[in-house]
Amino acid sequence: MVSGLHRPTQLVIDRQAIKANIQQELKTLPQATALWAVVKANGYGHGMVEVATTAKHAGATGFCVAILDEALGLRQAGFTEPILVLGITSPAYAKLAAAAHISLSVGSQDWLAAALPVLQAGQLTASLAIHFAVDSGMGRIGFRDAPALQQADTFLRQHAEFNLEGLFTHFATADEQDTTYFKQQVASFQQMRQALAVEPRYVHVSNSATSLWHAACNGNMIRFGVALYGLNPSGAALQPPYPLQPALSFESELVFVKQIQAGAAVSYGATYHAKQTEWVGTLPVGYADGWQRRLQGFHVLVAGQYCEIIGRICMDQLMIRLPKQLPVGTKATLVGENGGQTISLQDVAAYAQTIHYEIACNLTERVPRIYLPEKA
């Protein structure tokens, strides 16, 4: 997608905030526990390569992504650190992953059996690093019983084409106050862990939520994801043990200002009619940028005041009710601080009845990312 460099709309990413969040987390970890930065989905909308660079400077020693192409993108950008693909990759690409020293998640012996002839075809320059995924209750991917995991472990150790590097699971409710199901998953994983003949180099169960609120479960590596970006994994249900610094701001400016009379309609469907004479501003932001139509009725900040989004959000533009006539070019803040007031991604998510992950990931490549420098 073409990036909109010639319109006054941008995401501002604070590298120092990312660095601070990682360094705060590292202070809580035992020295032998590694932190791998989760930079999937274009760094949760923040920019994969730029976030990975900052995370590395801050002390991250590896990376987690969702798909093989993201891992290859990091390699092409020059990163030599360990990279784990958290999702299931087709066995057809096993040799490609091995050649690039990319670790893959595996949840069945069938996958190993299908990947073996791929690895055996022609010259293999490196064994394929595997992390066994355990489905301890997430219901997504992974081994569900100890005998199946044992059999896969035996198969893997019989073939030098594979190298068991890790064992992991993912918790479904680590960000909730009720820990009943979380404890069930912990017990299930520990039982499965005993099925392996030899424990691999990395045993990891902790995403951001688990590491923040259940640090005793961390293993020797954590997958630091949404908290890296300064976002609370629980939304507002739980408070983190240290302040998280949000890294993303979303800014635009007024490109058109007009006065409308009582009864005048605004935007598609004429769903909004002015109740009195009103000043209306237009911002060059729309659902093609990830600001979805369901945010009609929410607000942005202009001159330190909350201004309601009126009428349906268009593909490329939205309209807001202004407190008074303001000049074209006045800054408008969709996420972040403006005039002493703040709109957080969590505020946006709460209004949209979703989670802040979705809001951040939906921000499209058409919106340029501007990166503030790290402090020395």
Residue numbers annotated as active site:
40, 268
Of 358, 346, 361, which Cα lies nearest the Cα of 240?
A: 346
Token reading at 288: 């093609």
Contact 104, 90 (CB under 8 A): no
Contact 83, 63 (CB under 8 A): yes
- In the three-class reduction of DSSP (H, G, I as helix; E, B as strand; rest coil), residue 66 is classed as coil
Count of CB atoms situated within 10 Å of the CB of 356: 25
Count of CB atoms situated within 10 Å of the CB of 331: 14
Task: Say what angle helices 48-58 and 15-28 make with each other, to 10 degrees.
Answer: 40
What gap in Å lies between CA 189 and CA 195, rounded to an integer? 10
What gap in Å lies between CA 70 and CA 105, rounded to an integer? 14
> Residue 372: beta bridge partners?
14
Query: Is 140 annotated as contributing to ligand binding?
Result: yes
Count of CB atoms situated within 10 Å of the CB of 127: 16
Contacts of 231 (CB under 8 A, 6+ apart): 44, 244, 246, 345, 346, 356, 357, 360
Q: How many helices (H) and strands (E) does the chain have?
A: 11, 20
Burial of 47 (0-12, 13-18, 19+ CB in 10 A): buried
With residue 75 as reference, give the H or E element that holds it: helix 68-76
Known binding-site residue numbers for substrate: 140, 315
Known binding-site residue numbers: 140, 315
